[in-house]
Structure 1
Amino acid sequence: MASIASIQHLLGNTSIFDLTVSAVVVGLIAYVYSTISTKKPLAAFPVIALTEKGLDAKHSWFQHSAEVISKGLRETNGGIFQISHPSLSLHEATKEFWFMDYPGFEPMVQPLHDEPLLAEVIRGKLTQSMALMVDDLVEGVTTLTGDTFGKPADWSMVPLKADLRDVVARISSRAFLGKTLCRNKEWLQIAKDYAVDTFMAAQRLRMLPPFIRPIAHRVVPVCRRIQTQYRDARRIITPEVVRRVARTRQLLAEGKKSDKTADMIGWMVETAMKPGGVGMDFDFAAAQLLLSVAGIHNTTELLTYAILDICSHPYLYKLRLLDSFLKESHRFHPQGIANMFRRVTSDIRLENATILPAGSTVMFETVYDNPQVYEHPEKFDGARFLKLRDAGKQESKWQLVSTSKEHTGFGNGKYACPGRFLAAAELKIALAHLIMKYDWRHDPAGPPVSIRHEEINLSLPGLKAMCRRREPEIDLDVYLKDEA
């Protein structure tokens, strides 16, 4: 039977009524789960578990996924291979991973409904307009770093990850929503919270047997929170969309061109309203939350680890190439230790006659710690990718925004992250300000610790560091002075 502690971990802080209802749910789980078998492992594949730690396969994966993958590779003599097949479906895997039919997860499965529109806007508008957006990014970072970290003359402790998330949320929202809404405090809070809560909600549900999830998602607090966040997002975003649509229709009726725009919501409206477009059926709020998850969450993680790597390797203050350092930080601290999640839609026979049965979900380990791919992968080398580029080994392949089977931080191939160019610009501008204006040290209370759950690897939410103001060699605030 589940303990009180395990129930509280699942449910978080909640009311007595909710706890009572949830306790009934957990009790039902305990009873039915003990009498009905769960999905059985495939007989053709060995089951890897950390039995030496007293864990079965399921709990080994939840708690120590990296060790499970390493042990599996050792015991099966696994090698590096690449596979793609029409019967490996990203869409089906996304439906399963993000619980498509449950309220609150609409943004995470939004590309399944409107992928062509999103792809057109990101690749055709956002990426092509990066040069127009740099000034706004520089202005935002210049203002926000000073407002956030101040000018401490002596070493001061700061909530590093929380502060960086605030900075990233503001500058990303400027690109996504424009100058007005990017300052909306309620929206910024929703965007930051949803980026965290949606992952937590999915993880909580995956820990439960499938037959109980339709009930659990109604009572587990984090699942209810993302439903509220989605409703609030629609309340905030919809009036702005209506305003822009009305303005566009008015100008077209007058025989004039629509206003020039330089933000994602404007481009979405423009694309949705063009002849043959999806019109107001497009879920603008879901799209904005999805962008926030991808932009705020991923960029914050990479920027946080970049600062921590600078604390650990002071020589990096003399960075010769920021691009190489960021790509190495991305390799050294991957947000996922496995990738290419796919749902098998029909049986696939491999070359060795192994069958991947329909209905199963597959993933592939990353190669970041493989010595056959990277020399001394256990060591952090900020110049690693600079040296690869200088050696003339496919120079463009080793840039931060480049994707390959050796580095899938931004995905690869057809499903490579289309927003990586914006993320790279934000990271470089922000990091330039942070390392030129401030000295950084680790929290003396101890080294940074990551959270690992299933295949996900994240920095601690409450991560702290120490900083103090320094005099930059170049006046980075000159931009604001010129604007004054």
Structure 2
Amino acid sequence: MDYYAHTVQIALFALLVALILRRRWDSIHSIPTIGYSLPLLSYHSAFKFLRNARQSVEEGYARHKVFKIATLDRWMVFVCGPEMNDELCKLPEDVASFEEAVQEWIYAEYSFGAPEYNLTIPAIHGLLVRNLPDVIPHVVDEIGLVFEELFPQEYWVELTNLPNFMSNLAARIVNRVFVGAPICREPEYLRTVTTYATDVIKTKVILDLIPKPLKPLIGNMLPWRARATRLLKHYLSADIADRQMRLDESSCKDKPDDFLMWLAKAARDSGGSMESILTSILMVNFAAIHTSSVTVTSTLFQIASQPEYIAILREDILDAIKAEGWTRGSVNSMGKLDSFIKETQRWQGSGIGTLPSQVLKTVTFSDGTIVPAGVHVHAAQAATYRDSTVYEDADTFKPFRFSEKREQTGQSTRHQFVSTSPEYLIFGHGKHACPGRFFAAIVIKIFLAHLLLRYDVKMGGDGSLPENVTIGTSTILSSKAKVLFRRRQFAHA
């Protein structure tokens, strides 16, 4: 009897597992598919998505509120339009985790190491949000030095590989705030943080192609994190030790109020180590360098291809700084420059999807679509930006679209570059809004403002806007485009 009872128990358990798997199978395959669903044919769709994700997502956006597309290692589910974007954003973290999706997407365990303590967010809130006005003079000073040292003089000079050039400049400017001078100007230090930002992407590309069981083996063999941490320790260990010592000196009058101090404080409060501080420096550089350099480069491409707007932007900048110079208030009042940057990001569509969320518990969306646990869901960002029901004349670049909206009653702050909404997701939205966006926007706007006041800019070749390259959901700016710069005779600083 025991034998038969045991057999029945095993059979019932197997049936239960089968039903659970069947339910998950039915759930994922009940979601509309763009391309093929069948196991082998789905790889055809995955390779098509790798080559032209924008077209596939726009097709799904036009036909469904929720749809899925096959990639090489999983299904990607997309939600469509502001209402669904808002619904995705409002899912509880224990139902759909933004953090887990991001960690898995960039393979954070192998890129940055197992998360010991989260020091970055407290430091960002401390210095780069609450104390942002104190940061601006350092940003302005370093940008001024960058232009004097690295930009061309009174004749037209052609710069190529602008994304790489701007990445190096962004690294120096943001690290004036992160680690201070003179370290922010050390070539080897800058090479370490900019190279590591690229290494994170290389890690992702490599591990995306590796079968899941082998990912830990290969991921732990990759050398870049250990090398970057070792180099950072060489440059920063003395400064970090100094900040840690000064934390306990309550009477110290010259206690620095910089990013390293905020990281040291966060480490002390949570029990973090020197290693966790160095990891936080790598993480914040990865985010800041990428965001700043990509936004500056794409906006410069747009300005250089439409130079008729330069005079309007210069007037906007001069009007803003005339009264009080370079302050947070004056930078925020550069409405036309702010709008031009924001419209460029909408128009060029810097990413196919955003608001990544890993479903932890089965989700039923308002349209009835059921998404099972384990699936990654994204908002169809670029398709939303070209939706004519969301944006009037969505297929037209209108540089002052958002500054005109801000002139309407009660709309003065809603349409800023840093403002998030279900319609505009460059910096996420709601509880997933990027806390560092205010610092990033300040750096971007001050840099572009200085450049436009000091330089004439035009696109090389036939003068047209260069085409971006899309690989999967990632958009890569042209490295072959040529932009010409010339110092103005009566430049304003």
Quote the residue 2:74 is aligned against.
Answer: none
Once the two structures are superposed, the pairs formed by residues 310-329 of structure 1 within 5 Å of their partners are 310-317=303-310, 318-319=312-313, 320=316, 321-329=336-344
* Mapped contact 1:195–1:293 kept (Cα < 8 A): yes
Quote the residue 1:389 is aligned against.
Answer: 406
Cα distance per residue 1:197-231 (max 9 Å; x no partner): 21232123113321232344366xxx433442233
* Mapped contact 1:261–1:267 kept (Cα < 8 A): no
Output the CA distance in 1 between the equivalents of 2:60 and 2:105: 23
Residues 212 and 93 from structure 1, CA distance in 2 versus in 1: closer, same or farther, beyond 3 angstroms?
A: same
Output the CA distance in 2 between the equivalents of 1:401 and 1:224: 36
- Out of 22, 25, 33, which is 1:47 matched to? 33
Structure 2 counterpart of 1:130, one-letter code:
L
2:99 paired with 1:91:
yes
* Mapped contact 1:272–1:282 kept (Cα < 8 A): no
Residues 94 and 428 from structure 1, CA distance in 2 versus in 1: closer, same or farther, beyond 3 angstroms?
A: closer
2:278 paired with 1:285:
yes
Quote the residue 1:437 is aligned against.
Answer: 454
Once the two structures are superposed, the pairs formed by residues 44-443 of structure 1 within 5 Å of their partners are 44-49=30-35, 56-76=44-64, 80=81, 81=84, 82-83=86-87, 84-86=90-92, 87-102=95-110, 104-106=111-113, 110=115, 113-115=116-118, 117-217=119-219, 223-249=222-248, 251-252=249-250, 256-257=251-252, 259-273=254-268, 276-280=269-273, 283-317=276-310, 318-319=312-313, 320=316, 321-366=336-381, 367-392=384-409, 394-443=411-460
Structure 1: gaps (5+ residues) = 1-38, 477-484
Aligned residues: 421
Structure 2 counterpart of 1:198, one-letter code:
V
The secondary structure found in structure 1 opposite 2:137 is helix
Cα distance, 1:388 vs. partner?
0.8
Output the CA distance in 2 between the equivalents of 1:231 and 1:150: 35
Structure 1 counterpart of 2:350, one-letter code:
Q
Quote the residue 1:12 is aligned against.
Answer: none
* Mapped contact 1:337–1:456 kept (Cα < 8 A): yes
Cα distance, 1:283 vs. partner?
0.4
Comparing 311-320 with 436-445, which one deviates more in the overlay?
436-445
Residues 157 and 186 from structure 1, CA distance in 2 versus in 1: closer, same or farther, beyond 3 angstroms?
A: closer
Residues 224 and 463 from structure 1, CA distance in 2 versus in 1: closer, same or farther, beyond 3 angstroms?
A: farther
Once the two structures are superposed, the pairs formed by residues 448-467 of structure 1 within 5 Å of their partners are 448-461=466-479, 463-467=481-485
Cα distance, 1:353 vs. partner?
3.7
Structure 2 counterpart of 1:229, one-letter code:
A
Output the CA distance in 2 between the equivalents of 1:299 and 1:413: 21
Residues 293 and 176 from structure 1, CA distance in 2 versus in 1: closer, same or farther, beyond 3 angstroms?
A: same
Cα distance per residue 1:138-172 (max 9 Å; x no partner): 11111101211120413434442232222211110
Residues 290 and 472 from structure 1, CA distance in 2 versus in 1: closer, same or farther, beyond 3 angstroms?
A: farther
Cα distance per residue 1:43-99 (max 9 Å; x no partner): 112332399xx9712112222111110111234366522323220111221232122
Cα distance per residue 1:284-335 (max 9 Å; x no partner): 1111111111111110000001111111211221224211111111222333
CA RMSD of aligned residues (A): 2.7
Structure 1 counterpart of 2:386, one-letter code:
D
Output the CA distance in 1 between the equivalents of 2:409 and 2:306: 26
* Mapped contact 1:403–1:416 kept (Cα < 8 A): yes
Cα distance per residue 1:342-396 (max 9 Å; x no partner): 1111112234443211111111101211111111122211111011111236321
Structure 2 counterpart of 1:168, one-letter code:
A
Residues 204 and 376 from structure 1, CA distance in 2 versus in 1: closer, same or farther, beyond 3 angstroms?
A: farther
Residues 178 and 394 from structure 1, CA distance in 2 versus in 1: closer, same or farther, beyond 3 angstroms?
A: same
Residues 415 and 237 from structure 1, CA distance in 2 versus in 1: closer, same or farther, beyond 3 angstroms?
A: farther
Structure 2: gaps (5+ residues) = 1-23, 67-79, 317-335
TM, length-normalised to structure 1? 0.80
* Mapped contact 2:34–2:56 kept (Cα < 8 A): yes
Residues 262 and 472 from structure 1, CA distance in 2 versus in 1: closer, same or farther, beyond 3 angstroms?
A: farther
Output the CA distance in 1 between the equivalents of 2:122 and 2:109: 26
TM, length-normalised to structure 2? 0.78
Residues 128 and 75 from structure 1, CA distance in 2 versus in 1: closer, same or farther, beyond 3 angstroms?
A: closer
Quote the residue 2:7 is aligned against.
Answer: none
* Mapped contact 1:50–1:68 kept (Cα < 8 A): no
Comparing 353-362 with 301-310, which one deviates more in the overlay?
353-362
Residues 72 and 373 from structure 1, CA distance in 2 versus in 1: closer, same or farther, beyond 3 angstroms?
A: same
Q: Percent identity?
A: 25
The secondary structure found in structure 1 opposite 2:293 is helix
Residues 214 and 439 from structure 1, CA distance in 2 versus in 1: closer, same or farther, beyond 3 angstroms?
A: same
Comparing 386-395 with 154-163, which one deviates more in the overlay?
154-163
* Mapped contact 1:159–1:465 kept (Cα < 8 A): no
The secondary structure found in structure 1 opposite 2:461 is coil
Output the CA distance in 2 between the equivalents of 1:349 and 1:77: 13
Structure 1 counterpart of 2:158, one-letter code:
S
* Mapped contact 1:156–1:468 kept (Cα < 8 A): no
Residues 229 and 433 from structure 1, CA distance in 2 versus in 1: closer, same or farther, beyond 3 angstroms?
A: same
Output the CA distance in 1 between the equivalents of 2:34 and 2:209: 18
The secondary structure found in structure 2 opposite 1:362 is strand
